Copies of this chain bind each other. A is one copy, B any other.
Amino acid sequence: MDRSKTIKHTRFYGFGTKWREKSVPVFRIPLLEFQQQDMSGMKTYFMRIALRAGNLTQRLRNLDSFFPPFPYSERNVLSTASGNSVQFAPAKKTVGIREIEAPNSLVLQFGLDHPLALDAGVSLSPLTIAYQTYGELNAAKSNAVLVCHALTGDQHVANTHPITGKPGWWNTMVGPGRPIDTNRYFVIASNVVGGCMGTTGPASLNPATGRPYGLDLPVVTIKDMVRAQAMLIDYLGIDTLFCVAGGSMGGMQVLQWVASFPERVFAAMPIATAARHSAQNIAFHEVGRQAVMADPDWRGGRYLKEGVVPTKGLAVARMAAHITYLSENVLQSKFGRKLQNRAAPTFSFDADFQIENYLRHQATSFVDRFDANSYLYVTRACDYFDLAADYGGTLAYAFKGAKSRFCVVSFNSDWLYPTSASRAIVHALNAGGASVSFVDIETDRGHDAFLLDTPEFIATSRGFLAAAARARGLAPTKNEPK
């Protein structure tokens, strides 16, 4: 019997409702015979087993080699069927897996002949870049705007998100008539390397093993993300981007673009960002990573292989991070000490307070749309970001050849990447004689202000881009400020 043909996308992890591999040594049952059936639309698999003396752990290890490359489905044991057969049901797929199997974006694939050279000193290949575009590229290819997403953002800037069903994360800024006007500009947004929305990340298949990378994916940097974006821009035949814009980790990519490709960026908008991660920034990210890694379902990063997902750890990571995205004032005015659907405290550990309920809700919805290992990679990329370090420690040198015009935006209640961090960028740009506008916007919305419909921010962006478009000779649209 040829097992590798009989059993497809199915692996044996246990026996019976509650069993997992770790409890199996108890049994010492070798697998004797497999049979697979596809029943009435629902994929159901039966695995016939017979009990016999022997060491199943050892057998399972050996069996690995019989099975096809990592199965993305049909992995959870549903129930013990009658007799000695076991019923499998389709496993819940993580977002990272689903976006690789069935992308919700355009996908650009680079083969082994186009590796991505990483800062870690190794190459990443093959490389997939998942991206979205909006608007039309003009004949001169001079109207392209690259939007760089933040830590847990993605390429779905201005369309309904395929996972959450919510509007694009920057639909306040990108769209017809918006500051990044899709009637005028060709807007490109790609998922970062290390992400989980279709671009190569820890859920992608490692060609060396045929299984997901997990932590075998090399650690990537902001510069690596930008290098990958440049490969996409090259593929699109665009020489100079009209603008590179982004907030938070997206802003770091903007800064890196200008430093790495000074001739290719006409205008740059680094928003609510920093040229390096501070100790406090690193500290919060480290808490998040430790929360993920403390979850026993993380399994040293091999959770996809083992059919589990470290949702609890990732949820805690998100809760801690989410606090840093909001100002103390907005938390106080929005939630204060208001109770959640109750008149008095319950004297329990329930979510008595609205703020508790809000954080739990944020965390729950997050784990459905983000991959735990990706969270490790993107946080690490930020922590490693120190633009000046590549230039002898002097940030101004990073912008030495910059021809771009800059609009640096900060928000005065942002304590994650505070105004002082933007001011340091502006000082370095000034030192190099760059053309810089700097706007520190007064708002109590904290770091998240760049994602919200913050009027001064929208107006600032609109004015900067319209002026830059005129300088670039791009045709005006209606309603453009003269």
- Could you list which residues of chain A lie within 8 angstroms of chain B, going by C-beta atoms? 16, 18-19, 22-23, 25-27, 119-121, 215, 218-219, 276-280, 282-284, 286-287, 289-291, 293-296, 312-313, 315-316, 319-320, 323, 328, 331-332, 334-337, 345, 347-349, 351-353, 355-356, 359-360, 363, 376, 380, 383-384, 386, 415, 418
Chain B residues with CB under 8 Å of A283's CB are 319, 323, 331, 355-356, 359
How far, in angstroms, from A291 to B335 measured CA to CA in the complex? 22
On whether A355 and B279 interact (CB within 8 A), knowing A18-B25, A26-B23, A312-B294, the answer reads: yes
How far, in angstroms, from A383 to B279 measured CA to CA in the complex? 28
How far, in angstroms, from A286 to B315 measured CA to CA in the complex? 12
- For the complex of A and B, the 9 pairs showing the least CB-CB separation, nearest first, are A294-B312, A120-B347, A279-B331, A23-B23, A219-B347, A279-B335, A279-B355, A286-B356, A280-B328
Say whether A332 contacts B26, CB under 8 Å. Answer: no
Chain B residues with CB under 8 Å of A348's CB are 219
Nearest neighbor of A358 in chain B, beta-carbon distance: B283
Chain B residues with CB under 8 Å of A320's CB are 284, 287, 320
Say whether A22 contacts B26, CB under 8 Å. Answer: no
Chain B residues with CB under 8 Å of A286's CB are 319, 351, 353, 355-356, 359-360
Chain B residues with CB under 8 Å of A120's CB are 347
Nearest neighbor of A294 in chain B, beta-carbon distance: B312
Closest chain-B Cβ to A366's Cβ sits at a distance in Å of: 13
Chain B residues with CB under 8 Å of A25's CB are 18
Say whether B331 contacts A319, CB under 8 Å. Answer: no
Chain B residues with CB under 8 Å of A319's CB are 283, 286-287, 290
Say whether B289 contacts A349, CB under 8 Å. Answer: yes
Say whether B349 contacts A278, CB under 8 Å. Answer: no
Closest chain-B Cβ to A276's Cβ sits at a distance in Å of: 7
Chain B residues with CB under 8 Å of A278's CB are 328, 331-332, 336-337
Chain B residues with CB under 8 Å of A355's CB are 279, 282-283, 286
How far, in angstroms, from A352 to B290 measured CA to CA in the complex? 14
Say whether B290 contacts A315, CB under 8 Å. Answer: yes
How far, in angstroms, from A157 to B218 measured CA to CA in the complex? 48
Say whether A218 contacts B287, CB under 8 Å. Answer: no
Closest chain-B Cβ to A131's Cβ sits at a distance in Å of: 25
Say whether A332 contacts B279, CB under 8 Å. Answer: yes
Say whether B331 contacts A384, CB under 8 Å. Answer: no
Closest chain-B Cβ to A372's Cβ sits at a distance in Å of: 12
- Could you say which of B22, B121, B282, B294 contacts A337, with CB atoms under 8 Å apart? B282
- Could you say which of B316, B353, B415 contacts A287, with CB atoms under 8 Å apart? B316
Say whether B316 contacts A290, CB under 8 Å. Answer: yes
Chain B residues with CB under 8 Å of A332's CB are 278-280
Nearest neighbor of A276 in chain B, beta-carbon distance: B337
How far, in angstroms, from A345 to B320 measured CA to CA in the complex? 25
On whether A359 and B323 interact (CB within 8 A), knowing A18-B22, A18-B25, A26-B27, the answer reads: no
How far, in angstroms, from A353 to B282 measured CA to CA in the complex? 8
Nearest neighbor of A348 in chain B, beta-carbon distance: B219
How far, in angstroms, from A309 to B204 measured CA to CA in the complex? 35
How far, in angstroms, from A319 to B355 measured CA to CA in the complex? 21
- Could you say which of B218, B294, B386, B418 contacts A347, with CB atoms under 8 Å apart? B218
On whether A280 and B331 interact (CB within 8 A), knowing A120-B347, A345-B384, A349-B289, the answer reads: yes
Say whether B279 contacts A337, CB under 8 Å. Answer: yes
On whether A337 and B386 interact (CB within 8 A), knowing A23-B23, A219-B347, the answer reads: yes
Q: List 23 A-B contacts (CB under 8 A).
A: A19-B26, A26-B27, A121-B347, A219-B347, A278-B331, A278-B332, A279-B328, A279-B334, A279-B336, A279-B353, A282-B337, A282-B356, A283-B359, A286-B351, A287-B316, A287-B319, A290-B315, A294-B294, A294-B295, A328-B418, A345-B384, A347-B384, A352-B383
